[in-house]
Amino acid sequence: MAIETSEYPALIDGLRANFDSGLTRALDWRRGQLDALERMLSENEEAIGRALASDLSKPEQEVLLGELSLLYSEIRHARRRLKRWSRPRRVSTPMVGQPGRSWVQPEPLGVVLIIGAWNYPVQLVLSPLIPALAAGNCAVVKPSEIAASTASLMAELIPRYLDSGAIRVVEGAVEETTALLKQRFDHIFYTGGAAVGRIVMRAAAEHLTPITLELGGKSPCVIDQDADLKSAARRIVWGKCLNAGQTCIAPDYVLVSAEQREPLIKAMDTELKAMYGDDLLLSRDYARIINRPHFERLVGYLGNGQVALGGRFDESAKRIEPTVLIEVKPDDAVMQEEIFGPVLPVLTVDCIDQAVEFIRERDKPLAAYLFTRNRGNQRRFIESISAGNLCINDTLMFMSVPELPFGGVGMSGMGQYHGKAGFDRFSHLKAVMKRARFPEVTIRFAPYSRLKMRLLKLFG
């Protein structure tokens, strides 16, 4: 049954009381919740697949690749390291602090709010929930209403498997999220677009609540002169077609030299046919666009520049062929905002330096990709491009490494998670110092003197 907005304060008070009781602090409780989450996924893979098929026609294999495997891997990684991560972390104490010991003691934050987006609607609410629970917090989870079937499945499953005294799901859209954001949380973890990110940040400021913003942006993909074009084309096509391009780290546009543009597009055509057959609009391995407004927005881009590949769409099925656009100008609409769909402008640049300059003139992206065999250029790209995540010679694959923190920088977001970064994100890293009472070193106390000054300079 839906929770009324008037009930939110009591719901959060209830979670806070349970948090204060110490319920979530015990490592056994945390492990138990991670086990239950894993069971929830493994026992309901079919139902999850059906919900994602209904929301996005997400192919079964993409449910595994883009949602479930990442979650299984995060859960196992966190469970194995839980004890190590939550232990006090000893740091050295300088002479003036002797005799004494100092350490960092992670402690849970309290009651956190997790607001998910629709494109990976299971993964984007559960990936933050894993570290939130591992770190010993209570959580309110607000799935995106736009992926409606998955949101209601999450609302049904989570209370069946997880401790309702500590984890609650609130379903709803703008009105409900606005009401939730009026409450005081100890952290807000938001995934979605920048416009709502600003609303979240403003609301958080009211209570001085710390936030994580997992936003998006235009993730560039650079093809260097000596790139292996066949491999680049295959990996770009895969990264762009997964979930029909509705992936925050999908390659948004390609920068390539004028000579390589045609061979690259030809190679992409070959790879597209090899992966999806001759009529991609009929392929069962290709997801659809989430809803009509997004479909219309994406179809609107097809008038920018010139279509070099694809371009067809099926309005009733909300499917759009992966479409490569050429002769696109930097001030065309398709280059002004994140595309978030299967449209790929391919722009030409003279050299890698020009590509780097093009990227650096724009907002810092969530991901940036470079295809090259040249080690010097790899190094230059890594050093000169600021992005949430960089990947050389592939797309998206850094997501499979739990020890790589994930998150944006600048306009693509703030705060990182996954693996230990996620645990730390949902913890307060409390600084603790413990002094022995004897012997008492008196050089810091008044009355001050030249000798004490000299000793302080020496040992301070």
Q: Which residues are catalytic?
A: 214, 248
Min dist. Cβ of residue 337 to ligand NAD (A): 9
Decide whether 402 or 408 has the Cβ nearer to ligand NAD: 408
Nearer to ligand NAD, 24 or 144 (CB): 144
- Min dist. Cβ of residue 105 to ligand NAD (A): 29
Q: Which candidate, 328, 318, 393, 401, places its Cα nearest to that of 146?
A: 318
- Is-contact 216 412, C-beta < 8 A? yes
- Minimum CB separation from ligand NAD for residue 3, in Å? 15
**Radius of gyration, CA atoms only, the chain:** 25
**Cα 70 from Cα 214, distance rounded (Å):** 17
What residue ranges bind ligand NAD (CB under 6 A)?
Answer: 115-119, 124, 142, 144-146, 173-174, 177-178, 191-193, 196, 199, 214-216, 248, 338, 340, 366, 408, 413
Q: Toward ligand NAD, which CB reaches closer, 15 or 124? A: 124
Q: How far is the CB of 73 from ligand NAD (least distance, A)?
A: 16
- CB closer to ligand NAD, 290 vs 324: 290
Q: What HEC string does the chain produce? A: CCCCHHHHHHHHHHHHHHHHCCCCCCHHHHHHHHHHHHHHHHHCHHHHHHHHHHHHCCCHHHHHHHHHHHHHHHHHHHHHHHHHHHCCEEECCCHHHCCEEEEEEEEECCEEEEECCCCCCCHHHHHHHHHHHHCCCEEEEECCCCCHHHHHHHHHHHHHHCCCCCEEECCCCHHHHHHHHHCCCCEEEEECCHHHHHHHHHHHHHHCCCEEEECCCCCEEEECCCCCHHHHHHHHHHHHHHHHHCCCCCCCEEEECHHHHHHHHHHHHHHHHHHHCCCHHHCCCCCCCCCHHHHHHHHHHCCCCEEEECCCEECCCCEECCEEEECCCCCCHHHCCCCCCCEEEEEECCCHHHHHHHHHCCCCCCEEEEECCCHHHHHHHHHHCCCCEEEECCCCHHHHCCCCCECCCHHHEECCECHHHHHHHCEEEEEEEEECCCCCCCCCCCCCCHHHHHHHHHHC
Token pair, residue 375, equals 């080690």
Distance CA 227, CA 259 (A): 13
Residue with the shortest CB distance to ligand NAD:
216
Q: How far is the CB of 413 from ligand NAD (least distance, A)?
A: 6
Whichever of 117 and 229 has its CB closer to ligand NAD, that residue is 117
CB of 404 to ligand NAD, least distance (A): 13
193 vs 263, beta carbon nearer ligand NAD: 193
User: Closest CB to ligand NAD among 136 and 415?
Assistant: 415
Minimum separation from the CB atom of position 173 to ligand NAD (A)? 5
Tell me how far, at minimum, the Cβ of 178 lies from ligand NAD, in Å: 5
Nearer to ligand NAD, 47 or 196 (CB): 196
